[in-house]
Structure 1
Amino acid sequence: MIGHPFHILDEIDSTNNYAMAQVNSGQVTSGTAWFTSNQTAGKGTRGKQWLAQPGDISALTIALQPAMLPLSRQFMLSMAVALAACDCYSSYAGDETIIKWPNDIYWRDRKAGGILIENVLRGNIWQYAIIGIGLNINQASFPPDLSNAVSLRQITGKVREASTLARELCTFLDKRIRQLQPAGYEALLQEYSTRLFRWQQPGLYRINGEIFEGVIRGVLPDGHLCLEKDGVVMQLGFGEVEFIINR
């Protein structure tokens, strides 16, 4: 089960780095989770730094052996994790919790969290997935350069015990991971698509410096975004399109 065992670390540079080291040493079992409320050098996607305040849940990492999926289905795991994080956050923040493609967690048009999955491969064998999840929980405010961020405390007015919420997130993850069966791929993909930020709604995007209005029409099983522009549907990979959010 996801979150068994569940380790709480007093302070660490990155729970993903720590989990990776433990996996490489052969000292973990699938489903092991690490949590800290004091992460000093968290990692975001595409090499970005993940900034967190003490008391945040942004330092939760799970080591998973993805035996239920072939390597060609990597995006299905990312999708299931995003759905689980959205499930968990929405249980407190409500139905305005959504997923910004590919795996950021949003509340309305503001970022509430993100996901970073790093893979351990042995040849063509997908040995482990190191799943890092960050959700903004107890921040009272954010610096000006993070004006689009939001925390659960700002949404609900309540401070919560981050480690308790992290254990709850493991339960949501366990449920979603168990749904990763071939017969359920299409239903999961459809649910993921309909919970996307700007699903079937016009919005502004930028590609190669050009800003235009587009509409998200869906996501392919390999993770490509189907974005319609002027009646033509483009298939875009990660990092190929920027969402323009004016605040």
Structure 2
Amino acid sequence: MIGNPFHVLDTVDSTNNYAMARVNEGMVADGATWFAMEQTAGKGQRGKQWHSTPGENIMLTTVLQPALALSEQFMLSVAVALGAHDFFSAYAGDEARIKWSNDIYWRDRKAGGILIENVLRGNIWQYAIAGIGLNINTPHFPESLTNPVSLRQITGKTWNSVDLAHELCACLDRRRNQLEPGRFETLLGEYKAALIRFNEPALYKKNGEIFQGVIRDVLPDGRLCLEKGRDMLELGFGEVEFIFAR
């Protein structure tokens, strides 16, 4: 079960780095999870760093042994994103959304992100190291950040981040248990239903050009189908930027 065992670390460079080291030492089983009170070098997508005041927010990594083929990697990302969305929307309400591919948003503001790193042995997908960071109790953010939001800002309440992390693990576990080939289409449908901007015109940026587009689909391999005028673009991760008003 995800979150069993559940370890609390006072400080660590990155929970993903820590979990990866335990995997490489052969000291970890499926579902083992590490929660950090403080990260000194938290990692985000495409090399971005994740910063948080000690004890304020959820910063955790869980180690999974996916019973999936390498070609089905995106479905694990879908399950993890849905689990995080299930958790966050239970407190933040139905304006919580998933931003492709797996950020957690509330309205047009970012509440958290997910970084999944894989361990392969030949062509065998041995482990997935799933790191999740969610803004829980941060009252104010640096002006340099474009559009962040925390659960405290949404609800006006402060929360016990460790208790909420256990709840998050339960949500992740429920979604992970749905990862069966016969249910992929249903999971992908739920993912698209939770997706921000799905079938709505909005602004995007690609190769320096800002344009209006409409998300029409997400394919099972994770590619985003973005309608641009009369063209349908199929985009991989990092190939398009969502434009949000500050």
Question: TM-score when scaled to structure 2?
Answer: 0.98
CA distance, structure 2, for counterparts of residue 56 and residue 70 of structure 1: 37
CA contact 1:57–1:166 (8 Å) conserved in 2: no
CA distance, structure 1, for counterparts of residue 66 and residue 218 of structure 2: 22
**Which residue does 2:126 correspond to in 1?**
127
Secondary structure in structure 2 of the residue aligned to 1:144: coil
Letter in 2 for 1:46: R
Letter in 2 for 1:15: T
Secondary structure in structure 2 of the residue aligned to 1:226: strand
* TM-superposed deviation, 1:30: 0.5
Q: Which runs of 5+ in 1 are unaligned?
A: none
CA distance, structure 2, for counterparts of residue 59 and residue 97 of structure 1: 19
After superposition, where does 1:12-161 map in structure 2 within 5 Å?
12-67=12-67, 69-161=68-160
CA distance, structure 2, for counterparts of residue 158 and residue 94 of structure 1: 14
Letter in 1 for 2:53: Q
**Cα deviations across residues 117-171 of structure 1 (Å, max 9, x unaligned)?**
0001111111100000000000000000114000000000111000101000000
* TM-superposed deviation, 1:58: 3.8
Letter in 2 for 1:84: G
CA distance, structure 1, for counterparts of residue 57 and residue 136 of structure 2: 6
* TM-superposed deviation, 1:55: 2.0
Question: TM-score when scaled to structure 1?
Answer: 0.98
Letter in 1 for 2:27: Q
CA contact 1:35–1:57 (8 Å) conserved in 2: no
CA distance, structure 2, for counterparts of residue 56 and residue 125 of structure 1: 37
CA contact 2:58–2:162 (8 Å) conserved in 1: no
Letter in 1 for 2:245: N
* TM-superposed deviation, 1:56: 3.3
* TM-superposed deviation, 1:44: 0.4
What's the % identity of the aligned pairs? Answer: 67
CA distance, structure 2, for counterparts of residue 190 and residue 42 of structure 1: 31
CA distance, structure 1, for counterparts of residue 62 and residue 138 of structure 2: 23
The size of the alignment, in residue pairs, is 246
Letter in 2 for 1:121: L
CA contact 1:63–1:130 (8 Å) conserved in 2: yes
Letter in 1 for 2:190: E
CA distance, structure 2, for counterparts of residue 135 and residue 116 of structure 1: 12
**Which residue does 1:223 correspond to in 2?**
222
Letter in 1 for 2:116: I
Structure 1 vs Structure 2 CA RMSD: 0.8
CA distance, structure 2, for counterparts of residue 240 and residue 36 of structure 1: 31
CA distance, structure 2, for counterparts of residue 36 and residue 56 of structure 1: 10
